[in-house]
Amino acid sequence: MPVSRPIAVTLPAHGVAFAESIHGPGFRMPERADPFHKLIYVLQGRISLGAAGGGENLRAGAGATVCIPAGLRHHIADAEPPTLLLLCFAREFLTGDAGLEQIWHRLTGGGSAALRAGGLTGPRFERLWQAGIAEQAGRQPGREVAVRAAAANILVALARTPADQPAEDAAMRVTAVTRELAATFYEPWSLERACARAGISRRHFSKLFREQTGRTFLEHLTELRLTHAADLLRQGRHSIIGAAFSSGYGDLSHFYRLFRARFGQPPRAWLEKRPESKVP
């Protein structure tokens, strides 16, 4: 239901809450400060956020995320009636984890509202929000742990997203997809998915991708996966099946063919010639 004023959020005992706010045409928000940290993800529409202490307003469109530290006085105005996803979390959620606290400090500069632009956070980022909302509404064992984990994953995803992503620069969008691919190569990537993420044609994407990496998309993806699989096997704690699965290969025979083409031998023979390795 569209609202005309900010929704009220009360944190549960575990300190994390997801919420949704759909602004009606008459939405008004007086300046306020919350006792908890807050992320606002603009699912659709456009907003402008002003914070106490001066400076220019932050303008956020669909796909952008605004980070607002606890205690910061701020107000939101609508440029186009938005649908917003909120992630609110207690200060203790950060202070209990030095890594998360460092990420939040990096996102906000230690106390200011900050913006992470949209464009390439997209479906994978939105799935993290969906997971948090679903766990919060469910009754499965470990629900509170899953909600906190979803919140932590959202913060990590934001920390890995460049603050500035010019939507009009196709080369930079391809660079961002390449960076995302390096972190998620084990997912079911395809050239079509990569082109959709960059928002450009297959031909244009392939040209820019080869210019930046020196390889085709499939060659680069295969190299990332096989290098990871070889590292896992070299550590001696993973079976060949486990290394293939963890690298994104569900078809073991396909993995064997690619591994042999890349390293000159099938996985077991390759391992047996490495004295520091153990074959599980």
Asked if 184 contacts 127 with a C-beta cutoff of 8 angstroms, the reply is no
The pLDDT of residue 114 is 86
- What is the mean pLDDT of the segment spanning 131-135? 94
Q: Which two tokens stand for residue 82?
A: 């938005």
Spatial separation of the C-alpha atoms in residues 141 and 252, rounded to whole Å: 34
Decide yes or no: CATH 3.40.1000.10 for domain 2-159: no
What is the per-residue pLDDT across 139-156, written as a single tens digit (0 to 9) for each? 999 999 999 999 999 999
pTM above 0.85?
Answer: no
Spatial separation of the C-alpha atoms in residues 20 and 169, rounded to whole Å: 31
The pLDDT of residue 167 is 47
Residues in Cβ contact with 250 at an 8 Å cutoff, skipping those fewer than 6 apart: none
- Return the CATH superfamily for domain 219-272: Homeodomain-like (1.10.10.60)
- What is the mean pLDDT of the segment spanning 117-140? 82
Grouping H, G, I as helix, E, B as strand and the rest as coil, residue 58 is: strand
Give 170's pLDDT tier (boundaries 50, 70, 90). confident
What is the per-residue pLDDT across 34-82, written as a single tens digit (0 to 9) for each? 999 999 999 899 999 998 765 678 888 888 899 999 999 999 999 999 9
C-alpha torsion angle, residues 252, 256, 262, 266 (rounded to 10): 140
